[in-house]
């Protein structure tokens, strides 16, 4: 039996675990550091104190791990894939050089400019005064971004000049993003709907997963500050077959070619964050890993041999192994702790997990920020605590199921957005009719893609 190690501890990693468990291949699953939800699903957590990625690589060698999948961006940007490769381990995730596509927005913007990949116009600065002069000349609206990793909080869309001045001041005077803010990008503001396109690639061949849409703002109707993501659904109706052909032709294929030409062949998951503008799709950002919470909405829709797919991509020759798509929609609603994305409390006992997961079908609960307390209870331990992920033949049913799951769970200070998937419904514009009644009969007995 092959062994897989998943690195990371969030809902994205939990969704990856479940996807592996649903495949037909028997696998021995490990995680580092993992989370209580993953452990409950039978995943073994690396049981040794690990102080560095080198020690984790040693652990992976000793435990004969056949495939390592890296969830978060920081270790990839630090070079964890290179380290694992040097030890002869197979790792699904780009090298340090390739992960720069997320680690340095200055690099990725220059790459897009050099190779004619559509993105917002921009200039790059390392001095506040130069950036400010440029902004005054251009006028608002404008987008101010820290170049380095900033946990999804490095971009500020500024509709007025004072907002832009504040954003610059946060980066240069208040050092809000540390070294990540040594270089800033000033961008033209684009308008349109955003989509998240996940591309599994060996650097040349690629496969595209169902296209999803994130909900970044904390409040309903996209109000309030940006978060890591409050929910997602897939497939997003805005991503028509025609649009996706254009995305492949103008963005995915040229980006992979560009990376190889630059000596940074990309193997792993390339996340293309795109804006569907009136002029066509343009890149907002690239990420070097799966998105969270989009993964929680996308992966339940896909049944396949993930081991073979990721192993072959890592090895440089993407397998033709087929995956099966669930003919419907997935919706993931994030349950967060009041105060997120700023300060929030921890330690609140979570009720209703078993009821939600076992009494309702077509539903997974992924742990994002949870811990086990001294009495063995599962408690909130992060800003984003859980994601309730549901699937159904229609988007409206998937939304209803996800919210049914959310309603069964409670902890003090819990909140969630009530409009996840609403944009997709509006775009479908009544073209789908609910088949909820029939599905409801089926669901408790046989969730369509569960094993
Ligand atoms: P980023 O960190 O680059 O992904 O940006 C975070 C969020 O800011 C994106 O998901 C968009 O919602 C918004 N954003 C970033 N760049 C732009 C842009 N040029 N025009 C409009 N919105 C943007
Ligand atoms: N949900 C956005 C991200 O993963 O970057």
Asked whether the predicted pLDDT for residue 451 surpasses 70, the reply is no
pLDDT band at 361 (very low <50, low <70, confident <90, very high): confident
pLDDT grade for 429, boundaries at 50, 70 and 90: confident
**Which 8-state DSSP code applies to residue 344?**
-
Question: What digits encode the pLDDT tens for the residues 260-281?
Answer: 999 999 999 999 999 999 999 9
Residue 309 has pLDDT above 50, yes or no: yes
Average pLDDT of span 12-35 = 97
Which of 119, 146, 155, 224 is the best mutation target for the ligand 1 pocket, counting ligand atoms within 8 Å of the beta carbon and taking the most? 155
Place of tokens 């957590």: 45
Instruction: Report d(CA 368, CA 387) in Å as an integer.
Output: 7
**Ligand with smallest separation from the Cα of 180:** 1
Per the document, the length of the chain is 451
C-alpha distance from residue 114 to each of 27, 35, 117, 258, 334 (Å): 43, 42, 8, 9, 38
pLDDT, position 360:
78
pLDDT tops 50 at residue 449: no
Ligand 1 atom showing the smallest separation from residue 214 Cα: 10
Q: Which residues contact 209 (CB under 8 A, 6 or more apart)?
A: 198, 199, 200, 298, 299, 302
DSSP 8-state secondary structure symbol assigned to residue 251? I
CB-CB contact of 304 with 323 (8 Å): yes
In this prediction, residue 430 carries a pLDDT of 63
Q: Ligand nearest 8 Cα, by number?
A: 2
Q: Whose CA is nearest to atom 4 of ligand 2?
A: 291
- The rounded Å distance from CA 281 to ligand 2 centre is 18
Check whether 410 has a pLDDT greater than 50.
yes
Ligand 1 atom at shortest distance from the alpha carbon of 273: 4
| CA 387/CA 331 separation, integer angstroms | 10
Tell me: pLDDT of 167 over 90. Answer: yes
pLDDT at 358: 79
* pLDDT at position 406 over 80: yes
Among 50-54, 73-77, 151-155, 307-311, which is the least confidently predicted range?
151-155
Biggest CA-to-CA distance, the chain? 64
Q: Average pLDDT for residues 314-326, to the nearest whole number?
A: 94
**Rounded distance, CA 45 to CA 60, Å?**
12
Give me the percent of the chain exceeding a pLDDT of 70: 95
- Kindly indicate the confidence band of residue 151, based on its pLDDT and cuts at 50, 70 and 90: confident
Residue whose Cα lies nearest atom 2 of ligand 2: it is 291
Residues in Cβ contact with 322 at an 8 Å cutoff, skipping those fewer than 6 apart: 304
Which of residues 232 and 50 earns the better pLDDT score? Answer: 232
Domains of the chain: 2-100 (3.40.50.20), 121-188 (3.30.1490.20), 193-426 (3.30.470.20)
pLDDT score of 432 = 65
Q: How far, in Å, is the centroid of ligand 1 from the Cα of 149? A: 14
Q: What value does the mean pLDDT take over residues 398-422?
A: 97
What pLDDT, on a 0 to 100 scale, did the predictor assign at position 418? 98
Confidence of residue 431 (pLDDT cuts 50, 70, 90): low
Joined together, the tokens standing for residue 333 give 């609603």
Q: What is the pLDDT of residues 86-143, one digit of tens each?
A: 999 999 999 999 999 999 999 999 999 999 999 999 999 999 999 999 999 999 999 9
- pLDDT per residue as tens digits for the range 363-384: 999 999 999 999 999 999 999 9
Would you place residue 433 in the very low, low, confident or very high pLDDT band (cuts 50, 70, 90)? low
Does ligand 1 have an atom closer than 6 angstroms to the CB of 143? yes
Distance 75 CA to ligand 1 centre (A): 23
CA distance 69 to 271: 15
């Amino acid at each position: 039996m092959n062994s897989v190690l998943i690195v990371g501890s969030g809902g994205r990693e939990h969704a990856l675990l479940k996807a592996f468990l649903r495949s037909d291949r028997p696998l021995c699953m490990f995680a580092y550091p993992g989370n209580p939800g993953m452990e409950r699903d039978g995943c073994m957590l690396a049981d040794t104190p690990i102080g560095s990625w080198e020690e984790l690589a040693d652990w992976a060698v000793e435990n004969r791990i056949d495939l390592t999948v890296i969830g978060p961006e920081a270790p990839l940007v630090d070079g964890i894939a290179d380290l694992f490769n040097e030890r002869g381990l197979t790792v699904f995730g780009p090298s340090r050089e390739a992960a720069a596509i997320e680690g340095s927005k200055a690099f990725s913007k220059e790459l897009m400019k050099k190779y004619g990949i559509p993105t917002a116009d921009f200039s790059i600065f390392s001095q506040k005064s130069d950036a400010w002069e440029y902004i005054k000349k251009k006028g608002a609206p404008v987008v101010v971004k820290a170049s380095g990793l900033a946990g999804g909080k490095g971009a500020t869309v500024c509709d007025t000049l004072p907002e832009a001045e504040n954003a610059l001041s946060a980066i240069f005077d208040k050092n809000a993003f540390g070294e990540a803010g040594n270089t800033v990008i000033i961008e033209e503001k684009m308008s349109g709907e955003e989509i998240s396109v996940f591309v599994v690639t060996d650097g040349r061949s690629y496969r595209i997963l169902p296209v999803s849409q994130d909900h970044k703002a904390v409040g309903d109707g996209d109000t309030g500050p940006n978060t890591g993501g409050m929910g997602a659904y897939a497939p997003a109706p805005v991503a028509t077959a025609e649009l996706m052909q254009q995305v492949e032709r103008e963005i995915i294929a040229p980006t992979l070619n560009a990376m190889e030409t630059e000596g940074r062949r990309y193997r792993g998951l390339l996340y293309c964050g795109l804006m569907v503008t009136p002029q066509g799709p343009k890149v907002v950002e690239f990420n070097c890993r799966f998105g969270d919470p989009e993964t929680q909405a996308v992966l339940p829709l896909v049944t396949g041999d993930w081991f073979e797919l990721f192993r072959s991509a890592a090895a440089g020759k993407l397998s033709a192994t087929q995956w099966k798509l669930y003919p419907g929609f997935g919706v993931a609603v994030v349950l967060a702790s009041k105060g997120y994305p700023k300060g929030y409390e921890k330690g609140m006992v979570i009720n209703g997990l078993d009821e939600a997961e076992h009494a309702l079908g077509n539903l997974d609960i992924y742990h994002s920020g949870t811990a086990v307390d001294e009495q063995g209870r599962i408690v909130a331990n992060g800003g984003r605590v859980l994601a309730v992920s549901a699937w159904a033949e229609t988007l409206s049913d998937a939304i209803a199921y996800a919210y049914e799951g959310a309603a069964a769970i409670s902890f003090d200070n819990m909140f969630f957005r009530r409009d996840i998937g609403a944009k997709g419904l509006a775009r479908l514009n009544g073209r789908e009719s609910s088949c909820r009644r029939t599905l409801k009969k089926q669901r408790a007995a046989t969730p369509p893609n569960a094993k």
